[in-house]
Structure 1
Amino acid sequence: MSIWEILAIFAAGVGAGTINTIVGSGTLITFPVLLATGLPPVTATVSNALGLIPGSISGAIGYRRELAGQRRRVLKLGVGAAIGGLTGATLLLALPPTAFETVVPVLVALALVLVILQPRISRAVQHRRERNGTRPRPDGGPALYTGLALASVYGGYFTAAQGIIYLSLMGMLLDDTMQRLNAVKNVLAAVVNSVAALFFLFVADFDWTAVALIAVGSAIGGQIGAKVGRRLSPAFLRAFVVVVGTAAIVQLLLR
């Protein structure tokens, strides 16, 4: 691996850690760079998943203030995320590489539509609750648990844009601020990446140099992303999600 490849992977790690903490889709930065260095697709995917763990943890720590009072919610949703992540990691090694990639753009596009419509949907849900005299469930109920578990299956398989899917689901089913939901998203991403990585350590090939470079870069990026992300207004954060998600769809379709 040349010095330029080393610098490119490290820089991609910083960018991915930053983007993942703010919204998600950082894998769309690191994955193409790893492929460009000559790594096979599955090896690149596994190396990427291992390397992004420190970035996910760093981002979650950076958002620790917004996590206050969400312990029960995080623990409950984290169980589903862990199960989904392990399932996705298993499928990565069991299925052809194109199996999930054919539906990824559709999933991301659907998530973006939900993000755009989230304020209107939330208002409609709130009005319905007021008419019926009901209160929102603090954990989102079975619908959110199931949706996040399925999104985590995809996250354990490829990870790209899983944060966007998380935010769209939580934005519809939880009555909370975007910043607090983003904090939960970072924890769930850390859970999925960690579970998948532990599985990969024993059964898959990976490149330790690439893993180390992305790990250091993403940890730095996680702190940058937390500082930048919490300063964004809900409207700007939602717009940023849409921009990044659209770029993700374009890149996935052109791959």
Structure 2
Amino acid sequence: MDLSLWEAVAVFVAGLGAGTINTIVGSGTLITFPVLLAVGLPPVTANVSNSLGLVPGSISGAIGYRRELRGQGRRVLRLATAALIGGLTGAVLLLALPSRTFDTVVPALIAVALVLVVAQPRLAAAVRARRARNGTAAHRDGGLALFAGLLLASVYGGYFGAAQGIIYLSLMGVLLSDDLQRVNALKNVLTALVNGVAAIFFLFVADFDWTAVALIAIGSALGGQLGATIGRRLPPTALRAVIVAVGLVAIVQLLLK
């Protein structure tokens, strides 16, 4: 597809914004996907092109958070399995199911995730207190509950992905005894894996627009570094506030589309 100069600029800027917001919170797809539709791409082609283009941004954001990833190698390897299986499953479902299958479920899912993000400090404290009473230790990698939750969230991520980062943060924030910034770093790695495995699948079976992919890829890669710079400086309370604000915007946009 041939884009005009201003259309190309719009797609690039959308990629930049998506890469930035994805690294800090998530929901970057809600920036890029509408822009791709506006410049004339069919919905499935726009979704596939978006997934492929955002991979460099996810990788860039993970690199930007590399300091917070130290000591999480075992955790990454364990949860990467859920991300890869779920992402591939979601990519297959995108081509097999009607495009509006998840529309009624996703806003409610994001709302629940936001409640968990806000309540995370109290929930985590309650979980720690219960473990102390029972004399049990926290599972270092979140246990089966986190693996199963991330598997399902990754299916959604491979299918569409809007606000998948918020869902990841809510699950890991409650089930992992760790700093929110380290959890965010892990979220960026898992997002990169989901987008990456979905993109590889799409390369062989779906149509995409190389121009749009390239513009989003360059923009999102730059945005990943910008997002890491901003996100790493936010204290936990401010980061939660950003997550909630972005999540509410995502819910409104999904309900109105």
Equivalent residue letter for 2:193? V
Equivalent residue letter for 2:45? T
Partners of 2:135 and 2:233 lie apart in 1 by 35
Is 1:90 the equivalent of 2:92? Answer: yes
Q: Secondary structure at the match of 1:10?
A: helix
The partner residue of 1:183 within 182, 185, 202 is 185
Match of 1:13 in 2: 15
1:53-82 Cα deviation digits (max 9, x unpaired): 000000000000000000000010001100
TM-score, with length taken from structure 2: 0.98
Deviation at 1:109, TM superposition (A): 0.8
1:62-107 Cα deviation digits (max 9, x unpaired): 0000000000000100011000000000000000001112211111
Match of 2:77 in 1: 75
1:101-152 Cα deviation digits (max 9, x unpaired): 2211111111111111111101111111111121111100000000000000
Deviation at 1:45, TM superposition (A): 0.3
Q: What are structure 1's unaligned runs of at least 5 residues?
A: none
Match of 2:241 in 1: 239
Partners of 2:168 and 2:20 lie apart in 1 by 17
Q: Secondary structure at the match of 2:68?
A: coil
* 101-110 or 245-254, larger mean C-alpha shift: 101-110
Equivalent residue letter for 2:211? T
Partners of 2:43 and 2:118 lie apart in 1 by 32
Equivalent residue letter for 1:52? L
Partners of 2:158 and 2:247 lie apart in 1 by 18
Equivalent residue letter for 2:55? I
Partners of 2:233 and 2:159 lie apart in 1 by 31
Partners of 1:3 and 1:190 lie apart in 2 by 29
Match of 1:120 in 2: 122
Match of 1:218 in 2: 220
For the aligned residue pairs, the C-alpha RMSD in angstroms reads 0.5
Match of 2:109 in 1: 107
TM-score, with length taken from structure 1: 0.99
**Segments of 4+ moved more than 3 angstroms:** none
Partners of 1:39 and 1:101 lie apart in 2 by 20
Number of residue pairs matched? Answer: 255
Q: What are structure 2's unaligned runs of at least 5 residues?
A: none
1:16-67 Cα deviation digits (max 9, x unpaired): 0000000100000000000000111111000000000000000000000000
Deviation at 1:208, TM superposition (A): 0.4
Match of 1:252 in 2: 254
Is 1:148 the equivalent of 2:154? Answer: no
* % same residue: 74
